[in-house]
Chain A
Amino acid sequence: MKTAYLGIDVGSISTKAVLIDKKNKILARDYLWTEVDPIGTVKKLLYSLSDQLAKINEHHQDNPYQVQAVGTTGSARRLIGSITGASVIKNEITTHAIGTTSLYPEVRTIFEIGGQDSKIILIENGIVVDYAMNTLCAAGTGAFLSSLAQRLNEKVEDIGEIALTSDNPTRLAARCSVFAESDMVHKSQIGHSKKDIIAGICQSVVTNYMNNVAKGKRIIPPIIFQGGVSKNIGVTKAFERTTGHEIHVDPDSHLIGALGTAILAKNSKDPRPFDFRISEADFQTKGINCDKCANHCEVIAVYQDEKLIDAWGNKCDRGRVI
């Protein structure tokens, strides 16, 4: 029996999953929009991965792959980790650093812009030496791009290509998506073309990132750009203009977090064989408001086929469910 490891990255906007073998090679991969239903999305992804694995195993019938451990990451890591019985539940920064260094040991700088988070990770000799993350709000992240794209009546997937057709990006206020939106409307009223405004939006994502997340950090090539926004060629080009260096985007750039957590699961000392049939089980979550003190904690309980399997959210023992 050959071993495989599953990594699931449940982000605010999209959910990604990969299966890797012992040598960190990706055997199967897929990603879907999360659409505020992390459990349903993960189930769909598991169906897809289980099909892909079944096809691979047809060629290795005497020695099929078997998933030995699961790792989860992303903002719903706790929820999905408890459902899949994960060995490793890790934050996005760690998993991205691990995933990227496994693919590109020589990398020095990682730009990462996701749905609600953006971060910069600096690496020296394959070791993380510094990192920073956006602090308070989701300005300049995927959420910013998709809200402005919606306002412009364009698909967020298309705006990168449109941005490339402009030679004269419009300058936009970049600090806050609410201000940016009113600035954008104002600029269009005085006659800026749509493609220039779209290019301006891509540029403002980069300006915002450079001023808030990457401020004061030394940016040394090779630079890898990843996270959902890295699929936007307009933003990538704007990064190249601003930094003056080539920006590398991996074809699997959106899967790096999932890859990182799969590697962590592989190295964990707590292997727990995984059965894809879990995607047939019925999962329910229930929010319970604890009224035992003035904090009114919101406790979340997770049920598998009506049996309580995990709960969290209580600040003290009085609100304990499990």
Chain B
Amino acid sequence: MVIGIPRGFLYYKHETLWKGFFDALGITYLISPKTNQEILDRGNEFAIDEACLSSKVYLGHVHWLIEKCDKVFVPRISSYGMDGEVCTKFPALFDLVTNTFADQEIELIHYNMDFRNADAEAPGFVKLGKLLGKSRTKSLRAYLIAKQGEKTQQILEGNKVREAMEQNGLKILVTGHAYNLHDPYLGTPVFEMLKKLDTIPISAARVHDKEIHRASHQISQNIPWVFNRELVGTIAHYQRKIDGIILITAFPCGPDSLINELVLRRIKNPPVLQLILDGQEGTAGMETRLESFIDIIRFKKEGYYDKI
């Protein structure tokens, strides 16, 4: 049996956990390719108009997997317990995919995470193992191995960010949801442009750190969404070590529309730039905004204005 994993949404958070779990159980899986124009076009076809860009991308990935695997892996995640809630997209995703592709040959497989109904991560994975015909002990062991892998990965990510912070040069913290920032079609071009502009772009979207969670309280004490809380936490935590902040959002994102406004109002230093992605094909608008943002930070630092 081959499990298909769509390369979208929480894949960018839990890649190591998911792959680790399937590897430990000896189950083969197929991951959809990196997002490209064709995947986005398919997603646009299947998604309703008002859906966010990231969910359109996700549906495109699911479509790519149809007929290439036996079951498509679509988890149903509604909260991370004490860490916070998630956007309603995530608990709805399983049913959304089921209904969108109702008239196609597709079978889904999932795990649930809903702390209010005592569905924590470990029991969720045990149930997933059961669906795959694996015993409780085997599944639990696979989960523990995979979880260990995820924790190691998070520590490594944290070290990477710490190292980047030590470098000399213009440091730009790029924040946003991991599934937007690290998507090769959506967020990666921003990082490439920033590198071309001779700056050090830093993303902390995949760092999971108690310290960062605590730091978010400096900006707001009651952000319900876990990913936004992490995002605000990284800003508060690194604020003094960086030269600029870029907020990346996929249009239209509910949680981001509130939280980004909060960040723009409460963070006065360093400068903040908000970029909204909506699958625009031309990159000129984005280039203009990034280039001018960097220019102004740099001119201020290097005293260019005296030369006019």
A-side residues, CB < 8 A to B, are: 24, 75, 78, 90-94, 97-98, 101-102, 126-131, 133, 135-136, 216, 263, 267, 293-296, 298, 315
Contact = CB atoms under 8 A, between A and B. Distances in A.
**9 pairs of A and B residues whose beta carbons are closest in the complex:** A93-B292, A294-B36, A294-B38, A94-B295, A91-B288, A91-B292, A91-B291, A295-B37, A128-B296
A136 B274 CA distance: 11
Nearest to B261: A216
A297 to B, nearest CB: 8
Interface string B229-245: 00000000000000000
B1 interface: no
Given A135-B274, A294-B38, A94 B308 contact: no
B15 to A, nearest CB: 22
B208 to A, nearest CB: 30
Nearest to A131: B296
B287 A91 contact: yes
Contact of B308 (A91, A101, A295): A101
Contacts of B288: 75, 91-93, 133
Given A136-B278, A294-B38, A127 B300 contact: yes
B188 to A, nearest CB: 10
Contacts of B185: 295
Interface of B: 36-39, 185, 189, 251, 264-265, 271, 274, 276, 278, 281, 284, 287-289, 291-292, 295-296, 299-300, 305, 307-308
Contacts of B271: 130
A216 B264 contact: yes
A63 B288 CA distance: 39
21 contacts: A90-B295, A91-B288, A91-B292, A92-B288, A92-B292, A93-B288, A102-B308, A127-B299, A127-B305, A128-B299, A129-B300, A130-B271, A216-B265, A263-B308, A267-B307, A267-B308, A294-B38, A295-B36, A295-B38, A295-B185, A315-B189
A103 B207 CA distance: 47
Given A126-B305, A216-B264, A133 B278 contact: no
A294 B39 contact: yes
B36 A293 contact: yes
A267 B302 CA distance: 14
Contacts of B299: 94, 127-128
A121 to B, nearest CB: 9
Interface of A is mostly: mixed
B284 A94 contact: no
B300 A128 contact: yes
B308 A136 contact: no
B266 to A, nearest CB: 11
A267 B305 CA distance: 11
Residue among A98, A129, A295, A298 facing the most chain B CB atoms (10 A cut-off):
A295
B69 to A, nearest CB: 19
Given A135-B276, A263-B308, 4 more contacts: A93-B288, A101-B305, A131-B296, A267-B308
A91 B38 CA distance: 31
A218 to B, nearest CB: 11
Residue among B291, B292, B300, B307 facing the most chain A CB atoms (10 A cut-off):
B292
Given A97-B296, A128-B299, A294-B38, A136 B251 contact: yes
A16 to B, nearest CB: 17
Nearest to B185: A295
A98 B300 CA distance: 12
Contacts of B289: 133
Contacts of B292: 91-94, 131, 133
Nearest to B188: A315
A27 B201 CA distance: 42
Contacts of B305: 101, 126-127
A276 B108 CA distance: 66
A194 B36 CA distance: 49
A136 B253 CA distance: 14
A166 to B, nearest CB: 35
Nearest to A296: B37
Contacts of A216: 264-265
A91 B288 CA distance: 5
Residue among A78, A102, A128, A130 facing the most chain B CB atoms (10 A cut-off):
A128
Residue among B251, B288, B291 facing the most chain A CB atoms (10 A cut-off):
B288
B284 A75 contact: yes
A58 B39 CA distance: 62
Nearest to A267: B307
Contacts of A296: 37-38
A141 to B, nearest CB: 13
A93 B276 contact: no
Contacts of B37: 294-296
Contacts of A298: 281
Contacts of A91: 287-288, 291-292, 295
